[in-house]
Amino acid sequence: MELKIPSREQAYWGLRAMKTVAMADGALDDAEVHLMTAVQRVFGTDHPLEQLEPITPAELAAALPDRQIRRQLVNGFIVMSLIDRDASKAEADLVSQFAHALEVSSPEVNDLRHVVEREMFHLRLDLARRVWLREKVKEIWETNGIRGIYRFMRGMVGRYEDAALAGRYKALEQYPTGSLGRAYWEYCRTNGFAFPGEKGGAAEPILFHDCAHVLSGYGTDPEGEVQVACFSAGFQRRDPFLFVFFVLLQFHVGVRMTPITKARTGFFDPEKALIALRRGAAMNVDLNNGWDPWPVLRDQVEDLRRRYNIPPKESFQPFR
């Protein structure tokens, strides 16, 4: 994801618009104030929120010609509408108006309306169509054909067993301490995850997600999953905001988006999410697009973090 740090002036216009969206259905609540405060803390501005006046879509478009800032801001509007876990029709309508005025086309703007209208079938259908799984299936088809698809689909439901494949992953226990391979082995054993090839094990093409956990240092609890999704959105080159939108629904709003994981509420911390996003955006490799972990599994995790330009969490401590 391309992530551009807004100037103080750009942040001023953007915050006015975010506040306008938040107040579309009434006064600001604590979650909305927390989001705007987090944005300022992470990006280093200090505009008094109580002094921010409402702004129209046309005024915002005139003030913000930068197309990347516009795209980022529309994403911010979507997060704002969901942060209180109760998106309203008034908010969705205003987000759509702002996106139109800013000439930003975002599928999440339409998906937000599905959330508001409780059109869950259409929502899940659109996300399933766009999620990284589709690209993985395409890649597998091109390299391994129908047999590869069969193995992948059985692996996705934990029913593909291959003793030789599982043995390859079990052997990672013998890799050097601190290496990516050994860290992945420990990650699976610590969390009780089966290896690819074992009964209940994940499909091998989603290994990138587990490696993102290891390389980022984020856990597998709901808060950790939110942060690793934002981290992944940062390094993702294809449809990156989808990762953020997905975990907002799954782990914050409480909309169950996958049959595997239970929906939860209240786990999207804006400050931590923004820091994770900035860490991922600083990377020079997309783990979900052409990256093969096997050639680097013997390399030290710390060396890979430097090679891939993954900043430590402390590098983005919020401004105080």
Tokens of 79: 């997060």
Q: Give pLDDT tens digits for 32-54.
A: 999 999 999 999 999 999 999 99
Is residue 297 within 8 A of residue 175, CB to CB? The reply is yes
Rounded Cα–Cα distance for residues 8 and 128 (Å): 37
Q: Give pLDDT tens digits for 150-201.
A: 566 665 555 668 899 999 999 999 999 999 999 999 999 999 999 988 888 8
Rounded Cα–Cα distance for residues 308 and 101 (Å): 37
Can you name the residues that pair with 133 across neighbouring β-strands?
A: none
Can you name the residues that pair with 300 across neighbouring β-strands?
A: 179
pTM of the model: 0.89
At 51, which amino acid appears? Answer: Q
* CATH 1.10.3680 domain extents, the chain: 8-119
Indicate the Cα dihedral angle 41, 6, 90, 118, nearest 10°: -80
Q: Give pLDDT tens digits for 121-160.
A: 899 888 877 765 666 666 665 666 766 665 666 655 556 6
pLDDT of residue 205: 75
Written out in words, the top-level CATH class of the domain with range 8-119 is mainly alpha
Distances 76 to 42, 72, 217, 244 between C-alpha atoms, Å: 14, 6, 25, 11
Tokens of 147: 């047999």
